[in-house]
Amino acid sequence: MFGLIEKDLRLTLVRKQTLFIFLAMALIMGQSMEGEFLVGYLTMFAVLVAIGTTSYDEFDNGFAFLMTLPFDRKTYVREKYLFCLMMAAAAWCFGIVLYVIGTGIRHSAISLTGQLPMLLGIIPTVLISACVMIPLQLKFGMEKSRMILFALFGFIVVMTAAWKKVMDNGPALPDALPPAAVLLSLTAAFLLLALASYRWSVRIMEKKEF
């Protein structure tokens, strides 16, 4: 497992130019954008990079070599989900740091406590999209799943906007669910989808021929 994680980290670092461009964009956005957008952007980008390592594994019949190493296909699938979670958590933390620094540079008031439910909601929302993308990536590859990727971007935008609306209007609606309950519901939905997605991905890998 740790060897697979190290492999994916090294594959991620191969894309230094792409990472540099997106990090530069994040630094610029940190000076002007709202924290929710910045953190969501970085978290989604990190997950897409993590899922993209599957394309490197497929390149030049790479799967045939990988499956000769001392791990089974379930371990390979499990590592992909774990790596996405690690990348999302790291990017989320990095986004929070940039947001705080950018707000300090602008001398603007910031209340992370009030925004925390909104910011935390980004993680399960982005990981839900990862649970859809991973099995599709394993089954169809990057080229055929590219259109679904654009649809997922739209999904993230809609979910982020809806979540922000709940957070902004929630206190004025006494009958509405509290933010914590919405966050727990979103997390529960992610966990259920992650379990179904993992089983689907394992089934796909077990049926693959290399």
Question: In this structure, what are the phi and psi dihedrals at residue 35, rounded to the nearest 5 degrees?
Answer: -60, -40
Quick: pLDDT tens for 6-47.
888 888 887 777 777 777 776 676 665 666 777 888 888 888
Quick: pLDDT tens for 154-205.
666 676 666 666 656 654 444 455 667 777 887 888 889 999 999 999 999 9
Angle at 107 (CA atoms; ends 101, 113), nearest 5 degrees: 65
Question: Residue 185 belongs to what domain range?
Answer: 2-207
Cα separation, 165 vs 39, in Å, equals: 17
Helix 73-105 and helix 16-29: axis angle, to 10°? 40
User: What is the number of domains present in the chain?
Assistant: 1
